[in-house]
Structures are given as structure tokens and as C-alpha cells.
Structure 1
Amino acid sequence: MKIKNIIKLSVICFAFGNLSAQNPWPKTTETAKPWTRWWWMGSAVDEKGLDKQLTTLSQAGFGGVEIVPIYGAKGFENKYINYLSPEWMKMLQFTTNKAKSLNMGVDMSVGTGWPIGGPQVDEQDAATKMIVQTYTIAPGEKFSEKIVLKDEKQKNLKTVKLDIVTAYNEKNEAVVLTDKVNSDGILDWKPNSGKWTVYAVFVGKTLQKVKRAAPGGDGYTLDHFSPEATKDYLKTFDKAFGNSNYGIRSFFNDSYEVYNADWTPDFKDEFKKRRGYDVSPYIKYLVGNEENEIAARIKSDYRETMSELILNNFTKDFTNWAHSKNSKNTNQAHGSPGNLLDLYAAVDIPESETFGSTKFDITGLRRNVEDINTKEIPDINMLKFASSAANVTGKLLISNESFTWLTEHFKTSWSQVKPEAEQIFLSGINHIFYHGTTYTPSDVQFPGWLFYASTNFVPENSLWPHLKGLNSYIERTQSVLQSGKPDNELLMYWPIYDQWASPKGKDVTFKVHNVEKWLQPTVMYKNLTELSKIGYSIDMVSDKMISESKLENQNIQVTKNGGSYKVLVIPELTYLPESTLKNILELAQNGASIIFQNEPKDIPGNFEVEKRRTQLKSLWNQIPFQNQTGNLKMASFGKGKIILSSDVAKALEYLKIEREKLTDTGLKFVRRQFDGGKYYYIVNHTSKEINEFVPLNYSGKQVALMNPENGNFGIGEIQNNSVRIQLKSGESLIIQASENTDITIPKWKYIEKTDTPIVLNQPWKLTFKEGGPELPKSKTLDKLQPWTNFTEDSSTQSFSGTGVYTTSFKLKKNKADDFVLKFDKLYESAKVIVNGQDAGIVWSIPFEINIGKYLKKGNNTIQIEVCNLMANRIKYMDENKIQWRNYHEINFVNIDYKPFDASNWKVQPSGLDGEIQLIPIHYSK
């Protein structure tokens, strides 16, 4: 049993529960397995279909589903079921009962499509916006125009009202006139002198409706800033669910994509209560485009108020409601006009999202430019907002909507999914949800019902027979990443007030899709990237979290069950609330280590500016900095230390905070602690092979190496707190460093040398097992090649499914310890059968598998069952104008959101190509 440098081992076929007692892998759970978003198109589901698909998902290694009803397929309208109707609830109950029998979990969306809303959202509770009209009053002129809303779309709405009226003269002197406008819109005011501009703010509605709504789910989107709107919305679920949660583990809310929602009916009152002053005299600065200090301060206060409203009036209420149902809740905070860290932390399961394709340096990893969206690249630091919130506050699970638009439809292989999943894990996330799987009735022909924007994790996918390989990898990895507690040593403050103080625009939403505007240009981002690269583990922290922090054993801790941190880093910033600085100094007083990159320049907001500015300066001046070598200042402050340095890495070195030097090799890691030891999850995303002793900050008394791809494990070699690692490009490894020793665990099998490869260049027989539109004829191959090379047989060009390559060879007596079957080119994955025995699945780079224990002296037979992409069959269907996409709403689009058409695609190579080598290997003794 081993992992190794040259070898990509197969997935072993026994379950975790059957492994021996000496097995170091944590016990698996349903949450350790991957889950998938399960779209119910038109909610046209029935018990037979639900039973079949849940069983199929379970057999493929899924631990649960997340039900999201959406628009339906045309021609099936008579089978649609209205969302939350008695019939729909009956289907939900059947689903949860069946899932329970399969040891699977079920989550569901609190709404259809996204963002949340529906028929229960009346005009009063609908997403709200401010509508601004301006008027001019000339000197000495009596204003005769009525101040009434001119927007034709809003005129018939009953809830539209005039909220603020403020006039400004040429000296920017303001007069609030709200109470001088009567119900007919007549202004009873005449200025004494000068030219005046009147700003009238109306409470209007965005009129946005739910996108991709399912039957029974259409309607306005919700006003997330109104507690009454949230309460009213959830009443519909109370009525449908009664006193039961119907077996739902967690209620899910998708990303905030409510457009132009920048107000709420009682915003003016909430602003005054929270910020300490009336916004009415300053409305010009909020709605205008002036780029000056007063505008920046007003907008900062406005954005902070919006953040508090969505946190307190929606997110926390959503959590409390889910708990009242004895369930959890899951929320995607990104896109919200609020502090993402606080919003993620306010729910049971924070959920992030990946969208697009990452460029990895992994040797042989395919990334065709024509098949990806080059504008959307997942960002690991964006993912860390969700994991940071969870780690800091002690949440056990951090989920991720994974692989959305990873490549063009039908062109994603499992080998392309794996490094994206690894990047998600490296960000600290431990609960992957595939995006996704679509329910399909059993009588619907290939390719079944499909969602417009997914990587197609559906049983109709020709790669489905080998999905268990990917799923088992994720299951093993997540079993470790869901164990113990996070073990990150640094806290990085998010200077959100620098973002909120921008005088440009009005509301600020922190989206996944525009990190290049709000996240990547920041100094915090640079710090996160550079410090992670040199081996530090970091979580981000908010002002609110700092205010709740305490010192435990000289480490900073926000909650009892949360992470424990050695240092708080305050990156270079302009604005810092005096209250936050006070809280930071209290932490230092009690023994914390703090690093400032610069002296805070100012306080945010527009309330009592000079007083608060003086307080900030006074607090800062309490720090008795002394110059040190290397452009660094240090102050002993109470029991703690405060460092002032633009170079955070040097400051950490001064504080003797050790980095993990294993990153010097190019390896990436995430670390967790458990009772008596630590786990390291290590990934090689470089183009090189790693074969050396790698240093660990913690090695314990015994180090076990664990291969998440096949479950193999063994005791590793240690020298001077370094462990010997053999990893090829694209491979990963888990290290369990423990204070306990277990002599029953075997030694890890390191490859010491390899003998001359045996090239399997004899003739091969190619047959076809399953797939369509029709099975090509069998062929005898003089040399190994893809079946798509045989252009004279048109069926090979359109076939998507499984082709079987078979050959026999003689093996002379050989003293090798094992043999590795190495593929040169594999399109896309393969099940290997040696002498009638299942040796495993080859689905990820470097496309290798150990088969030594299945070989025998003399004649041997190898069958390689290769699955290719769906692309060629879809191309054939579009070329022949075979109707397969026929949906309401958006129907079906390509990666650029244009109508989908595969008729002009190139035929995708399918099968085996190049050489297949059988490599004799010898393990170190």
C-alpha cells in the first residue's frame, strides 16, 4: 500500500467501513461525500423517477442532494407541480424518505430559481430602490411644479412614496423640505435668495422578478433589508411545512443577485438610529457623482447601514427560522452589499461559489481557450471569505457551489475537475456541491433534461461510469478536512471601510464576478497571496469579529469552538474605526501580537468626525513604538507586542512566527489539528515532480502518509522534522502527523527505482460496450489509437460512450515489487481490468495505475474500458437537427450565453493514443 512519485493509483473498491482497524482514515459520513445541486425542471417529478435517480446518485458515491426547482421543459407542462403545493410536499417527503434509506441527506432552496422571491412577495415586501428627481428654483421664483413621481413603471404602485426632499443653494447650504410637500406634491416653500436645486427621493420598487423561476415560484424578489419582508416571506414555508422539516438537513439561499435594490421603506429612520444623524441634509452627496470627502463619508455610512440591515433583518432571521424547524441553513453571502465575513458567519453553513476555469501548471492538463470563459477565473482568496468566517466562528462545514461553467457544455473531463476541487479544498472549504445534476424522467431520450449553465454531473453523461473515481477522491479528502479544527496561525483584518469610502457609485456589492475591481487591487489581497505563497495560513477577520475576540493561551480566539490565532495583521489602510483600534489595543494589552502595516490615517463615516478622529489619534499615540533594525518598529503593549512594518513577512519573522517551508518546493497545503496531532493536505500543482524530504512545522512522533485517490496509507520516512514525499505533477497527499504511534500501520512504499518499461505495442482489439447514437463496429488495431481516427466509419465520429481496448501479452518472471500501467494519452477516463479482475479507474493526471497484484507469469489479458466526452454525440445531434433542447425561460446557451449550437465543433479525440507502458518498480526496503 502506497502513494508515490511515479504512480497514480487506482481507486480501491471497498468502502471505508470495511477497512481494518489500523486504518488512519477518519470514518466517512454522508457530508464527507460530495453533494450535488439537483434541479427539478418544472418540478415535473414522480416517485418512480425520484427513486431511480437517488439510487443512481448513491451508487456513484454522492452523499446528498440540494433541491432547486427551476423552469421546465416544453411539452411536459401537464406534469408540472407547483412549488410548495401539497403534491410538491408529497414529492419532497418521498425524496427525503428515500434519501434516508440510502444514507443520503437532502437540502432545499427557500425559493425557486434565484434570487429568492415568489408569489408571496407582495409589492410592500418587494426589493426596493430609491428614485431621485431634481428640480431647479430660480432666484425669487415661486416653485409651481408638483413633486410627484414621473416614472411610468412606478406610477400605479400603491407603495411608492415621497421619502426625502432637500434643497441646496449654490453654496451647498441645505434645507430639508420633506414636511413642506403636501399629499398632492405641492411644495410650500420659497427661498429668500439665490438659485436652488431640489432633490426629491421616492421609495420605489426594482420590479425585479425571480430568475429561472419554477411553476408556483414566480414573483417579485425580496427586500432583504426589511424584517417584515423576511418574516412575511417565510410564512409561506411555515404553512407548507407545518410543524415538520420534512427531513430537510439545511435550507439553502443562493447568491445575492438583487439588482438596483439600494433602499428600503424605513431606511431613513434606520440610518439615523445606526449612524447617529439624519441623512436627509446630505442626500445630494449620496445620490450624486461628486468625488470629495463629504461624499465619501456619507456613502461609507450608507453602505455600513445597508450591511447591518441585510445582516440583522434577513440573514440572522433566516438562520433563526431554520433553527425553528430543527434544521440548519446554508447561505451564499457573496454579491451582497454587506460585510461578507459577518454575513457568512451568521449562518450554519457558509457557501462560496466557483465560476469558470483556473490556469494550472499541471503537466498535460487540457485547457482549450475556445472551451472556457477567460473572463471568469476562480480566485482562492475570494473563496477564503466563506472559510474564514466559518473557521473564526467555529462552523464545522463550509460548502461551495462548484464547477459552474468550468468548460463549455459536454467538454469537461473528471481530470479537469480535480485540480479545481483541490483549489477549493486549499481555500479551507470542506463540503463540495456539484453544479450540478438535473432530474430527468426515465422516458426522456439522451441527453435528458439539462440545465443551461452547469458542468453536467448527470447519469446520461458518457463519463458517468467513472465518476466514482472523482467522488471517492473527494470523499476521502473531505473526511479529513471535516475532522478536527482549522489550524491557521494568522488573522488578516479586512479594511472594508476603505471599500465603503469610495466616492464613486452608491451601493457596493462584493461579487464573485468582479473581484478584479474590488478585491484584487487591495493591499490585503497582495498580503494574502504573498504570505500564503511563503507558507503562512491565514483567515480574514471583520471589525465585528475583532470586537468579540478574546485571548486564550496567548492566542486570539473569536469563539470557543473557533480557530486560535497567533497574530492579527492590519494591512495598509486609510480608514479604521476608533472602536476597532480600541479593541485591537485591548487584545494586545491581554497578550496578543499585532502587526500594523501603517498608521491608520482616519476614521470612516460622517458622525462627530473631529471628535472620533482625535480619539483615533490618541489611541494610536498610546503605543510606545521603538525603532528596530530593518525598517521595523516594535512596542511592548501590556502583555502583548505591536509591530509597525510595511513588510509583514519581516514582522512575522521578528515575532518568530514560523512559516511552513514546504511551500518552497511549490507545494500548496491546508492544515488542520486534531486531538494529538495535525493533518496536512498537500497538492502538487506545479509542472515538476517532487521527490524529496519536505519540512513540516509539526511532525509529531509518527507520520502516516495517506493517498486520497485510492485510500492507501503507510508510515512515512522522517529526517530532521522533514517527511519524504513523492508526488508527480497533479497529485495530492494527506499527512497525518501524530503524537501517538501505531506499529500495526505498514511502512509507506516509496519507489526506489524503475526498470525498463515494457511497451504494449502489440495489436489491440477495439469493441464498443455502451453509448450512442449507435455502437461502432469492432476493429483490430495494429497500433493503439483513438477510435475517432477511423473517419471512414461515421459512427466513430458521433459516438459518445464506452470503448473497450483489449490485448494480451506474456510476462516473463520479474523481480519487480509492482507494475505501473502508464497511459500516454487518455481521452478521457478508463476502467482497467487485468485477467478478469477490476484494477480500478484511471481518471486523473498523470493517468497511471498500479496493477502488479493482478499480473501473473506468462499470458496476461488487459481490458481498458474508455469513456469519452458527450461532445461528439451532441455535435451529431445538432448537425442532424435532432431536437434535444426545448426549455422555457433561457432554454439552453453556450459558455458565452449565446444560443447553443455544436454543429460546427471539431470532433473531440476519443479513446487511447500514444504508448501504453508497463513499468516495473522497486520499493525501498
Structure 2
Amino acid sequence: MLSIKNNFKIVIAWALLMGAQTASAQVGWPSVTKQTKPWARWWWEGSAVNKKDLTWNMESYHNAGLGGMEITPIYGVKGHESEFIQYLSPQWVDMLKFTLQEAKRLNMGIDLANATGWPFGGPWVTDEDASKELFWKNYDVKGGEKLSEPVVFVQQPLVRADGQTPKISDLVEPISSNKNLQLMALDQVRFEKRIPLTVLMAYDGKGEVLNVTDKVDAGGKLNWTAPVGEWKLYALFQGWHGKMVERAAPGGEGYVIDHFSKPALDHYLARFDQAFKGQDLSGIRAYFNDSYEVDDARGQSNFTPQFFDEFIKRRGYDLRDHLPALFGKDDKEKNNRILCDYRETISDLLLDDFTKPWHDWAKAKGTLIRNQSHGSPSNILDLYAAIDIPETEGDDVLRFKFATSAAHVMGKPLASSESATWLNDHFLSSLGDVKHAIDKYFVGGVNHIFYHGVSYSPQNAKWPGWLFYAAVHFNQTNPFWNDFSTLNQYITNCQSFLQQGKPDNDVLVYYPLFDSFSEPGDRGLLKHYDAMKPDFKGTGFEFSTEEMLKKGYTFDFISDKQILNLQTSGNHISTGGLNYKTILLPDSKYIPLETFSKIVNMAKAGATVVVYKNLPSGVPGYSRLNEREKEFKNLLAGLNFTTKNNGVKMAEIGKGRFLIADDIASLLDAADINREQMTDKGLQFVRRIYKNGNSYFITNNGDNEVNGWVNLTIKAASVMVFDPMTKNYGLAKIEKQTNGKTNVYLQLQPGQSCILQTLPVKIQATGYTYYQAVGKPLNITGAWTLNFTEGGPTLPKSIKTAQLKSWTDLGGDDLKAFSGTVSYTISFKKPVQNAVTWQLNLGKVNESAEVYLNGKKLATLIGPQYVVTIPSAQLKAVNQLQIKVANLMANRIIDMDKKHIPYRIFYNTNFQSHSAGSKGPDGLFTAINWEPKPSGLIGPVTLMPVKSLRIK
């Protein structure tokens, strides 16, 4: 039973999350909290942290605008072994407590990974609790004969490592007793050993099935004479998958747990209970689990000791009676149905015996959990639904929607993202690149950004400091660090809106997982689910959702379990406090009877159900098949379709209807679903609803400027425009359409974003300023002075030049190798042309720029556009323009690689290469073959006279 104290803590935690959701709209920027700011994954390399540098790191993160950190211990740094702190040791817990104290002082949040690296595992995971793999053998026995060979299986040795791969003969059990575990960075280990027989089943091919397991003695001899007939024997053996914790920290090296066993999870979490006993860790907001990634190894983790009992309980029959079908040796349909039931049971176990109990464990401690469910052999929507903060990653909006849809459907206020993990190769990503990636997350429904990531690094560490193997290095040594706060402020401004209100999507899209469960895979018994590829590639599910995304329809995915909890109110479908207008069946072949029956009943109650191309043709699985198929066909028979306009067919049923068509736009139009036509202009968006109207996050993902009217599906009397980069805002120009919808005037350059806030009443507010050029751009020419103010390996001497080009082309090797900040200054006269306002355009910049005019800072610009507006009154007769430009880390790294100066000083991966030009002889990253990257102010720098645009 939970204590009153813990219950109170849970209420407070949820109140913090829900506060943003229930806040009413306001004319102006919403308040900023640590939760509206971006957070970051914080790598503790070797857990070699100390209190002095913890404070320095956290203060620098706080000053840069981060709202919180997620602690994940990771592999160590060579040469600092004496500073390593064993994971979960008293000293380690003391450092955690100090961090929580500092976070409280700085008003920052702290999440904690429930492991070092990933997945869950460690040296305390025993053979009994480690991930399991199923092996099998077949034997043939004729009637009246005995099996001559022993029923035994010897697991073959295997060792895979990310570091120095040892010989299997050099390793001993248990793994934790081996030396140099950091150096080896073991990924998978199997020792040669005889593994236990789980079951031995005999089949005569005519329906007779015998369980002869108890007739096998300790030596493997089968003491059984086969009855009359030709018997096929299936022997199943439970072996060890051997997956190790990836990127493990000292004290965290060990086997990954069996994710389908609650006892294994309980034993695993008990180690944390022991380490944290009597400690005040109330500052932890949430525990975190990285993506599944158990099976990015040889073989599969596909079994657990209680599997057959769980299968009977969940599927209603004994899988051991149908092993030939499980292994594809029966007729095709039965094979697929048995395989489907096996996969559904694995899916259930990952939900019921891992995800939910882990959530309960955290809840009892008064904390939340964040989880990356993708990559699991499960219905990832259900896994996401069972936790507090679903987290996604990658660069595909449809992939993001699995996490964000579960958050929306289940009424969870936050959906997070592991952001900017791999945007380019190492040292090549700018803040502008990161902004582009973040905008895509926002479009996908994410509203809680986590960078991936920041490495704890001592203040006195040699440049480039302690790094992680992923490609974007959000560290204090990166030249963009001084400008990092600008990106963080932009994200904060966006999330202050995106964490308000609730999502406003129209369509629920059925996730047809049983179609995939019912088709064989190419890697083994299990499939692992992560976005569309590969299992939904080319399916109606992929095509319909891609088309909807492209055309501006709003939608979320929904699972079978979630459908069973839907409610109908009139023609609305309700869940999680949201109202949807319809549910879409995306040309799926199979659908569970319970799911389809629920959908039919919702239609009878008034809902509209839309079907892309074809209705499901049957139910999945094997149990009670004839009975379920009969009930399903009866439901189908109750749908009598007649042809309507545009190839749409309709079947009225009760108070509602089914619509079916081959064209997604015609189908949704017939269901009265409106689309946001702004996508035709290259704009992408996400829409939310709040007490007094709607809000839109809009980004120009196209190549062309948008300067004109943009249609909204929302009826509004007023619309406010907010620029999250400059924090300017004002009342937009709008016009009402004849159908009651609203047009709003927008000016968005490629890569630029804005937020709209619609209101149902007219309000009095300062108008948003639109600009129109009233002349040609004037070049700022003359002598530029370049001062190298910060960076290295050395600070080059000042340069004067009248020609703007990459500073790498302005001198010798010291300029080519320089990574840091350069101050460009020039004097210019005020243009003679009379203009109220000027737009300063820096042209091409590599990569970010701080702009000062006459000693006053105007803006920090991170791209892709480098434009700042200047009132004419700020211009003097003679003006001094200063532009501080920071480039990338790449040029200094190139110099270090060419000079063989070590900086890849880390155990485990040092680093992965993501392009052919950066792959060394060892297959890992090197910049030795790179040429210096363009750096600095390239220009041309111009002044454009502009005036306020009068919009009719």
C-alpha cells in the first residue's frame, strides 16, 4: 500500500505536468517553467564526477537555458580510471544526492535512467533473470522404435564487443568477475554449455500429440517407444540470449534482463531499492528507460520460463500442441495464426510483466517514468500508453506519432523526444540544423525536448573535453555554446504554448498490428516495431497516413486495447479528454473481433467510421477461430453499402455510418473532415485547443518564402502571431471566409516558424508588423576587421579585408585549423535613402552570429536566415557594426586528426562514422581526410529599406 507521503508526491508530480494542460489561453507569452525549457540527457562517463565540477556543469547548463537533466551513467574516459565511481555504490548515491541538491538550488529538474547505458541490466542480473532464447531440434521416430540419439542441445560460444574483443576462452563466469570490462565493452556473450530441455513433443501428423518430456532422463536419453505411425519430435531448449548492457558504466556491466519475466524485473529493481534505502531522493522527477534494443544482436530474446503457462492463460490453448505451426511446418494459414498468437503473448508479457510493474515501482516512490517503447516486439502504442511520458527519437514525423498518439489518446500532457542524436557526421551540425530537427518534433506532437546529449566534463579537461559517441556535441567546448541559449530560448517559447491546452486532431487511425503479427519475418520468430519500416512499408496504413500528413489532415494512431475504451457522444469519439471526429481503418486484413464489434457499436451510437479501400476480411489468431469468424461475418453482413459521390460508398448503421473509398481525400471529405490547406504552401503544423480557442505551431519546411494569406480550418474573430525566435508578437491581419473559416496573413522565410493563437472574440492589441521592401538592398562595403576572440588551437592575429569569404581562405594553417569565435567589425554611413525601417541581412554565415550595432546587441542569429530588423532611429550618421561569428568544431578536429593528437580517449565506441569520407581503417570516425569547412561571415551583408505592409 502506498504511503500518504508518496501519494502526495505523485499528486504533486502530476499537478506539475497537468498545470500546463489546464492553463487557459492568454494574450502574450505563457509563463516559463523548468518544464517548458529543453532538457538534456546527461552522460556521466565512468561516473567520474566530483562535486566541484558537478556544480560548474550544472550552472553552465542552467545559464544556457536548460530546464533539466537526465542522468545516464556511461562508459568511462581513459586515464581517469582512478576517478571511476561504481554504479549504485554509496559514493555514487552521494553524488546523485548532491546533484539533486544543486538542481533544487538552480530550479532544474532531474530524471534518472534505471540503468547504465541500455537496456536494463547489470552485474546483479543472474542467469535465471537474464534474457532467454529458444533453440529447437527435430527428430524422426517410426512406430515401435526408440530415439537413438540423446535429446540434448549444446549452446555454441559467442562473444561480441564494441571494444577489444576477447576470446571466449579468456572469459569466466560470472561476467562481473572479469577484469577490463570497460576496455572490452562486451555486447553479447554466450558460453558453450548444455542448456536445459524445456519440452519434447511428439506429433504423428494425423492429429495425435504427446508430451514426452518426462520420459527424458538426465543424460538426454528418451525412454519412450513410439506408437504406430510416423512421429516427428520437436525438442525445445531454453538458452541464454547473452545480450549485455550496451555502453555500460563501471559497475553496470552485465547481462540484460528477461523483459518478459516479472520476477526478473523485481529482482533487478530490488538492487535500486537496496542502494536507495534511507536516502532522500525526492528530487527525482522520473525514471527513464532507453529504447528496447535487446535484439540488435545475434539471435533473439524470444522466450521466458513461464511462457507456455502464460500462453494458455492468455490465448486459451496449449501452444505445445502446435509447435510444427509455430516453426512454419504446418499449412500456411495455421502457421500464420499460431505465430500471431505467439507474438501477441510476447507483446502482452512485455506490457504486463515489465512496463506496468516498472511503472508501479516508480509510482510507489512518488516519481513518473519516461520510456522509449519503440523497437519492442510488442504493440508499442500499448507500451507508450502504460507510462507517464512517452519518448520518441529519429527524424520521421510518422515515427514520432506512435509516442505522441499514445500521449494524446491516453490524456498524458507530455510527449518527449531524444533529439538531434545523428543529424550529420561528428562535429558538422550547427544550431540551425538542430532547430530544423526540433521543429519536426514539434510538428509530430512532441512538446518536451531532450537533447542527446551533454557529457559531464571537468572544467579543466583538455579540448574538446569529454564527449559521447553520438554526433551532436552539446558541450561547453563547442564554439556554438555561447549561442546555445538562443536555441534554448526558442524551444522554451514554443513549448510554453505546446504544453498548454490539449491536442486538436480529427482522425483516429487504427494500428493494424495483427496484419504484421500474422506474417512471417526474416529474422526469427519475433518482429520489432518502430515506425512504418519494414513491416508496414507499402501498406494502406503507410500510404493513408503519409497522404493525410502531406495534405494537412490531423490524426493520431490508436491500438486495439485503446479502442475498447473509446466513448461516443453524438457523432464524436472521445478518449483522454479529447474529441475525435472519426476512426479510420487503413486497408487492414485482420482485426480482432472485440475491436471490430466495438467499432460497429460506436457507429450505431452515432460515430462515423471511414475505411480506406477495404474492410478487414477476418480475425487474427487460432483460438475459437470458427466461432469468432462467424460472429465477425455477421457484423460485416450488417453493413449494406450504397454508392455516393466521388467513389465513396456509405452504409448507415444505427445513428452512424461507415464510409469506404479508394481515395483518402474523397473519403475524409465525405466524413466532413477538414484539412489545413497550408501544407500546399510547404508549411507544416501542429494544432492544439485550449479554453478560449486554438493554437498552431507552424514552420516553413519548404524552399520558398510564404508571404500571403494562409487558410485555417478554425473560425476566429482574432488571431495573434508570435515569433518564438525574436519573441515579437501582435495581432494578425485576418479575413473571414464565406464558410466561417479564417484566413491569416503570414510572412515566413524558409526555415522560419511562428505560433498562432486564435480567439473567438475581437480583442484590442498592437498589430503584428509585416514588412515590404521599398527599395533595393544596399551593400555594406569597406574594410572589415577580424579579431579572433575565443577558440583554438591558437588565436590567429587580427586580419583586415575588404572581401568577405571563409576565414579558412584568408591565411595560413592557423586559420584553417581554427574553431571558435571571430569578431567582424566595420564602419558604415547611414544610407541617404529615407526609410522608417531597415533589414540587415548577413547573407551566408557559417554558422551562428551575434549582431551588435553601435555597441548594442541586436540579436543572435542561428539560421537558416540571418536577418535582423533595425528601426531607422537606431542608425547614426556613422555606425559601427560588429558581428561575432562562431563556426563548428570540425576544423580543429581535422587539425588534431592530421597531427594525431588524441581526443578519442573513451572506452567503448570512439566514434562511429556516418559517412564514407570519415571512415578510418578501423571503420570508426576520423576527420583526417576532410578539408577545412567554410567558416565565418561570407555575406554579402546588405541593408534593405522596408516599410510596414498595408494588407487589404
Which bracket does the TM-score occupy, shorter chain normalised?
over 0.9
Per-residue CA shift, 1:236-288, capped at 9, x if unaligned?
A: 11122226434111100000011211000000010111001000121122234
1:732 is aligned to: 753
SS of the equivalent of 2:650 reads strand
1:625 deviates by: 2.7
Q: Corresponding residue for 1:703?
A: 719
**Alignment match of 1:542 (pick from 546, 559, 566):** 559
Contact kept in structure 1, 2:156 and 2:192, CA below 8 Å: no
Task: Provide closer, same or farther for how the CA distance between residues 629 and 398 of structure 1 changes in structure 2, counting only shifts above 3 A.
Answer: same
- Residues of 2 paired with 1:504 and 1:899: CA distance? 31
Deviation at 1:134, TM superposition (A): 2.1
Compute the displacement of 1:626 (Å): 2.8
The Cα shift of 1:326 comes to: 0.7
Where do residues 484-495 of structure 1 align in structure 2 (5 Å cutoff)? 484-495=501-512
Task: From the superposition, tell whether residues 258 and 22 of structure 1 become closer, same or farther in structure 2 (CA, over 3 Å).
Answer: closer
Distance 2:889 2:269 in 1: 41
Task: Return the alpha-carbon distance in structure 2 between the equivalents of residues 901 and 289 of structure 1.
Answer: 49
> Is 1:642 the equivalent of 2:663?
no
1:508 aligned residue: 526
- Could you tell which deviates more after superposition, 690-699 or 46-55? 690-699
1:630 deviation in Å?
A: 3.2
The CA deviation at 1:46 is 0.5
Match of 2:539 among 505, 512, 522: 522
Q: Which amino acid aligns with 2:598?
A: N
Structure 2 residue identity aligned to 1:489: D
Residues 734 and 744 of structure 2 are in contact (CA less than 8 Å); yes or no, is this contact kept in structure 1? yes
Task: Write the deviation string for residues 649-669 of structure 1: whole angstroms up to 9, x where unpaired.
Answer: 212211222222222222111
Q: Does the aligned pair in 1 maintain the 2:773–2:944 contact within 8 Å?
A: no
Task: Report the 3-state secondary structure (helix = DSSP H, G, I; strand = E; otherwise coil) of the residue aligned with 2:580.
Answer: coil
CA contact (8 A) 1:839 1:854 kept: no
- Does 1:141 pair with 2:159? no
State the one-letter code of the partner of 2:937: L
Post-superposition offset of 1:171: 5.9
Return the structure number with greater relative CO, CA threshold 8 A, min gap 6. Answer: 1
2:574 maps to 1:572: no
Code of the residue aligned with 1:584 in structure 2: it is I
Q: Aligned partners of 1:304 and 1:554: how far apart in 2?
A: 32
Q: Determine if contact 2:415/2:447 at 8 Å carries over to the other structure.
A: yes
Equivalent pair of 2:840/2:867 in contact (CA under 8 Å) = yes
- 1:349 equivalent to 2:389? Answer yes
What secondary structure, in the 3-state scheme, does the structure 2 residue paired with 1:730 have?
coil
Q: TM-score when scaled to structure 2?
A: 0.89
Shift of 1:646: 2.7
Residue 703 of structure 1 and its aligned partner are, at CA, apart by: 0.4
Q: 1:911 aligns with which of 936, 946, 949?
A: 936
Contact 2:143 2:225 in 1 (8 A): no
What is the rounded CA distance, in whole Å, between the counterparts of 2:190 and 2:97 in structure 1? 44
Alignment deviations for residues 558-606 of structure 1 (CA, whole Å, 9 cap, x no partner): 23x3x22000011101111111111111111222111123222111001
Written as runs of structure 1 = structure 2, the 5 A alignment for 1:541-560 is 541-552=558-569, 554-559=571-576
- Does 1:586 pair with 2:621? no
1:403 corresponding residue in structure 2: 420
C-alpha distance in structure 2 between counterparts of 1:173 and 1:756, whole Å = 90
Residues 438 and 645 of structure 1, relative CA distance in 2, 3 Å threshold: same
SS of match in other structure, 1:907 = coil
CA separation of 1:22 and 1:107: change in aligned 2, threshold 3 A: closer
Comparing 568-577 with 241-250, greater Cα deviation is found at: 241-250
Alpha-carbon distance in 2 for matches of 1:808, 1:702:
44
Report the CA distance between 1:83 and its aligned residue.
1.0
Tell me the residue number matched to 1:880.
899
State the alpha-carbon separation in 1 of the partners of residues 473 and 499 from structure 2: 26
Q: What is the match of residue 363 of structure 1?
A: none
Partner in structure 2 of residue 12 of structure 1: none
Q: Does residue 815 of structure 2 align to residue 796 of structure 1?
A: yes
Q: Distance in 2 between matches of 1:536 and 1:775?
A: 53
Q: Does 1:430 align with 2:447?
A: yes
Q: Check conservation: 1:93, 1:246, Cα contact below 8 A.
A: no
The AA in structure 1 aligned to 2:111 is D
Determine the structure 2 residue equivalent to 1:472: 489
1:375 aligned residue: none
The residue type paired with residue 706 of structure 2 is I
CA 1:132–1:472 in structure 2 vs 1: closer, same or farther (change >3 Å)? Answer: same
Counterpart residue type for residue 508 of structure 1: L
Q: Does 1:97 align with 2:133?
A: no
Unmatched 5+ stretches in structure 1: 1-20, 355-377
Contact conserved, 1:463 with 1:869, CA < 8 A, in 2? yes
Secondary structure of the structure 2 residue equivalent to 1:873: helix
- For 1:853 and 1:233, locate their aligned partners in 2 and report how far apart those are by CA, in whole Å: 66
Moved more, 193-202 or 864-873: 193-202
Return the offset for 1:138: 4.7
**Residue equivalent to 1:4:** none
Per the alignment, residue 864 of structure 1 pairs with 883
Aligned match of 2:344: 304
After superposition, where does 1:612-691 map in structure 2 within 5 Å?
612-691=628-707
Please state how far the C-alpha of 1:213 moved relative to its aligned partner.
Answer: 0.6
Check the 8 A contact 1:291/1:503 in 2, yes or no: no
Please tell me whether the aligned partners of residues 47 and 91 of structure 1 are also in contact (alpha carbons under 8 angstroms).
yes
Paired residue for 1:229? Answer: 264
Pick aligned residue for 2:376 from 336, 341, 344: 336
The SS at the match of 1:435 is strand
Residues 186-240 of structure 1 show CA distances to partners (whole Å, capped at 9, x for unaligned) of 2232223444332111122112111111011111101111011111111111122
Q: 1:250 aligns with which of 274, 283, 286?
A: 286
Q: Distance in 2 between matches of 1:853 and 1:124?
A: 75
Amino acid at match of 2:584: V
Instruction: Please report the TM-score for the alignment, with normalisation by the length of structure 1.
Output: 0.92
What CA distance in whole angstroms lies between the structure 2 residues aligned with 1:740 and 1:313?
51
- Amino acid in structure 2 at the alignment position of 1:164: V
Q: Quick one: structure 1 residues 334 and 179, their matched pair in 2 at CA, closer, same or farther if it must change by over 3 Å?
A: same
How far the C-alpha of 1:909 sits from its partner, in A, is 0.9
Letter in 2 for 1:100: K
2:469 corresponds, among 452, 458, 477, to: 452
Structure 2: how far apart are the matches of 1:222 and 1:573?
A: 34
Identity in percent: 41
The residue number in structure 2 matching 1:747 is 767
Match of 1:595 among 599, 603, 610: 610
Query: 1:920 maps to what in 2?
Result: 945
Match of 2:63 among 59, 62, 69: 59
Opposite residue 485 of structure 1, the aligned amino acid is K
| Deviation at residue 854 of structure 1 after TM alignment | 7.3
Distance 1:553 1:486, change over 3 A: farther
1:504, distance to aligned residue in structure 2 (A): 3.3
In 2: Cα distance, 1:752 partner to 1:596 partner: 47
Kindly indicate whether the alpha-carbon contact (under 8 Å) linking 1:448 and 1:460 is maintained by their aligned counterparts in 2: yes
CA distance in 1, matches of 2:412, 2:329: 41
User: 2:151 is paired with a residue of what secondary structure?
Assistant: coil
Q: 1:553 to 1:64 in 2, by over 3 A?
A: farther
Letter in 1 for 2:579: S
Instruction: Name the CA distance, whole Å, in 1 between partners of 2:500 and 2:195.
Output: 52
Counterparts of 2:41 and 2:190 in 1: how far apart (Å)? 40
Deviation at 1:811, TM superposition (A): 0.2
Aligned mates of 1:841, 1:214 — CA distance in 2: 38
Q: Which amino acid aligns with 2:154?
A: K
| 2:34 alignment partner in structure 1 | 30
CA–CA distance in 2 between the matches of 1:725 and 1:431? Answer: 26
Residue of structure 2 equivalent to 1:849? 868
Contact 1:245–1:327 (Cα < 8 Å) also in 2: no
Aligned to 1:442: 459
Q: Please tell me whether the aligned partners of residues 100 and 281 of structure 2 are also in contact (alpha carbons under 8 angstroms).
A: no
Does residue 436 of structure 2 align to residue 419 of structure 1?
yes
Instruction: Note if 1:84 corresponds to 2:101.
Output: no
Structure 2 matches for 1:817-856, cutoff 5 A? 817-852=836-871, 855-856=874-875
1:268 matched to 2:308? The reply is: yes
Single out whichever of 240-249 and 604-613 deviates more from structure 2: 240-249
User: Which residue in the other structure is 1:358 paired with?
Assistant: none
In the alignment of these two chains, the number of paired residues is: 878
